[in-house]
Structure 1
């Protein structure tokens, strides 16, 4: 992630070099992946235009890269168009679209395309099932997710992994089925990871389940003792339940143990130039001007809205 811009610069220098060397589909997909990570819609579109203008064959690899790029940048209709018009598709192309629907919370589309995928004779894998479960979770399709989760091994031959249990924990947590989520985690054939317990903790935070939240928080702390986020979550849970003594104790623990929070990082693009900021960072010489532009954007009066893409520092999830 630290060298994404360098990858784009290298790609652009290749396009305009006099060496006669031109990027192949592997290079094109690589730079599309970088653009998807950065949310750099303009650069990705330039790559797509290059493909069209040069009559480059749209094989399954390139189709997958474009579907993934547009889906991650929020242009799901473009991703669908690329998918539907591509003569070559493979499992990865289907997965890219399924994950795109999942990110956008379109659980119905996930289910519809998953059914199409099966009818077309494409055998799903763990990523396919995860995409559908995530989509169902965001759309509140509990029964559909339960059905897929229960049948994924017997019907589709896809082994349940921690990521699938994590998806179900997230689904149950969002729906307020905290007890069911806890029972599932306790009876898992494998030990729960930080994402599974973290999903349960998030559900407890959403629905104010203090006792189960405390249990989930202990598990998260065991798995990652340096995670400062869990303390912030517990402070919120205690505060929302008017448990002020526990709020004070938790805050005291943060200071005593010198726990650091993971700082979020944002990218903002102004006049074609990308800037990166850590949360609370005011070191940029034009901080005030950027703040005014963003404030205007919120009020709907910014003349040229910047393109923003937020991601966590050091690869952590926001």
Structure 2
């Protein structure tokens, strides 16, 4: 927007992003401009400038009261007489940044009805809103509008269209746009399509695109690294991270969090510690995502004291940070401490989710707190609105089974809204083994064998249950059944990483002789 000297107001310099950092400051400047009469003399200029400053405050979204921001943006927009394309674009962008895609799309429709022509900036904003709704038909409609106005060949519009089709899982159309104009591609075009294939689970094609790229940036590496992590290819992810460092590319937050997650899953403490050292040397301050990744890695690798130290030193914690410490403490037998962190989490107003409850139920199991587990299990849906999943029923089956409460476990399973899995019935069978309840053990074993008929552990446990009950004929029957079905006893093994991981010791044993 070109402004003549006489249209510059001395207060406009305060609207720069480095000086106006809060909604309160923006409204104060707005008030001063209004009091001095400039807003009434030049309403289009004044309100458009203020609206533009509001969009800068929302990158990234950091203003908690989204409703008040939207209301303020609408008030500014309505104060502009006969708003042109630029103010329309700004308001569409505000709605999109505040995750309000439907108002953004309605504004675009209003814009078209009012004969206000869109420009090359309109479509990336409105396509981002469409992507949030994941509507392929709406994406195609906007695509046709971009063609009609001659902007479909614009690089930014094309990249936005590819991103929209990716979000709608319309990869054929995204690939078609990519193939349409080989000369009009940049690194963002490649990154966008790679992200689409990663999310769709077509990792082979994502890697092919990556290998074909004429140039790569940190997003290219980070996107593929996150894909390796999400696909469970943890060793490959760590190797890929090493390749990234070898090229001199400095990893971003996405790459670091992904590789920390892989170290956590593999229990590679040495690699995790090395990445921690890299973060400390190259980043002055940990943000919440990296802190969470470190807490999760150290907790899963058994370094609970370090995980707690990082957690306590993190000034800003989100739900995932709390979950990392609660689950980490629980699975390593620190049940009471895990529950104390759960109480602290609720005290600061962070709402638990399904992962949180999985952690606290495991904590109760380790601490032998049956009554508390029952109470938390009941409160999940009734108080916190968290839907119970199979994994939560499995935890309760394990906890109650350990306590020998097999009748209560059976009642819970009968009342489940879904069929039990191996973990649920396995908890039941383990409980029967402790209590020596043959009748219910046979029911549990029957369900488990339907799920996995080759699992020798089921036969071994039933053999023990029958032996405890001195039902020797049934013991012989189980052993004959294993022979007839050629079911082999599981041979356990353990792997110990020594030094750089090149030496592995393997201990073989047959648990049931």
Category of TM-score, reference length = shorter chain: 0.7 to 0.9
Counterpart selection for 2:379 from 129, 137, 151: 151
User: 2:236 maps to which residue?
Assistant: 6
Secondary structure of the equivalent of 1:152?
helix
Structure 2 CA distance, aligned partners of 1:48 and 1:222?
45
User: 2:370 maps to which residue?
Assistant: 142
Q: Is the 8 A contact 2:401 2:431 kept in 1?
A: yes
Structure 2 CA distance, aligned partners of 1:62 and 1:2?
20
- Which structure shows the bigger proportion of residues in helix conformation? 2
Secondary structure of the equivalent of 2:497?
strand
User: 2:419 maps to which residue?
Assistant: 191
- Larger Rg computed on CA atoms: 2
Structure-2 change in CA distance of 1:248 and 1:71 (3 Å): same
User: 2:76 maps to which residue?
Assistant: none
Q: Is the 8 A contact 1:105 1:138 kept in 2?
A: yes
Shift of residue 61, structure 1, vs aligned partner: 1.7
Structure-2 change in CA distance of 1:4 and 1:164 (3 Å): closer
User: 1:87 maps to which residue?
Assistant: 315
Q: Is the 8 A contact 1:231 1:254 kept in 2?
A: yes
Are residues 1:200 and 2:428 paired? Answer: yes
Corresponding pairs, count? 279
User: Counterparts of 1:1-318 in structure 2 under 5 Å?
Assistant: 3-15=233-245, 17=246, 19-55=247-283, 57-261=285-489, 263-275=491-503, 280=508
Q: Is the 8 A contact 1:263 1:279 kept in 2?
A: no
Structure 2 CA distance, aligned partners of 1:6 and 1:234?
40
Shift of residue 107, structure 1, vs aligned partner: 2.2
Structure 1 CA distance, aligned partners of 2:351 and 2:232?
35
Which deviations, in whole Å up to 9, do the C-alpha atoms of 1:210-254 show, x marking residues without a partner? 221111101111223333321122122223333322222112111
Q: Is the 8 A contact 1:181 1:200 kept in 2?
A: yes
Q: Is the 8 A contact 1:268 1:274 kept in 2?
A: no
Shift of residue 55, structure 1, vs aligned partner: 1.9
Shift of residue 131, structure 1, vs aligned partner: 0.7
Structure-2 change in CA distance of 1:161 and 1:7 (3 Å): closer
Secondary structure of the equivalent of 2:508?
coil
Structure 2 CA distance, aligned partners of 1:176 and 1:220?
19
Shift of residue 122, structure 1, vs aligned partner: 1.2
Q: Which structure has the higher relative contact order (CA within 8 Å, separation 6+)?
A: 1
Structure-2 change in CA distance of 1:4 and 1:187 (3 Å): closer
Q: Is the 8 A contact 2:323 2:359 kept in 1?
A: yes
* Runs of 5+ consecutive residues of structure 2 not aligned to the other structure: 1-230
Structure 2 CA distance, aligned partners of 1:36 and 1:227?
28
Shift of residue 279, structure 1, vs aligned partner: 6.3
Shift of residue 278, structure 1, vs aligned partner: 7.0
Structure 2 CA distance, aligned partners of 1:3 and 1:274?
19
Structure-2 change in CA distance of 1:2 and 1:149 (3 Å): closer
Structure 1 CA distance, aligned partners of 2:380 and 2:434?
29
Q: Is the 8 A contact 1:105 1:136 kept in 2?
A: no
The two structures have a TM-score, normalised by structure 2, of 0.51
Structure 1 CA distance, aligned partners of 2:495 and 2:248?
34
Structure 2 CA distance, aligned partners of 1:196 and 1:271?
38
Secondary structure of the equivalent of 1:28?
helix
Q: Is the 8 A contact 2:495 2:506 kept in 1?
A: no
Secondary structure of the equivalent of 1:268?
strand
Runs of 4+ in 1 over 6 A off after TM superposition: none
Structure 1 CA distance, aligned partners of 2:434 and 2:281?
50
Structure 1 CA distance, aligned partners of 2:386 and 2:490?
34
Cα RMSD, aligned residues only: 2.2
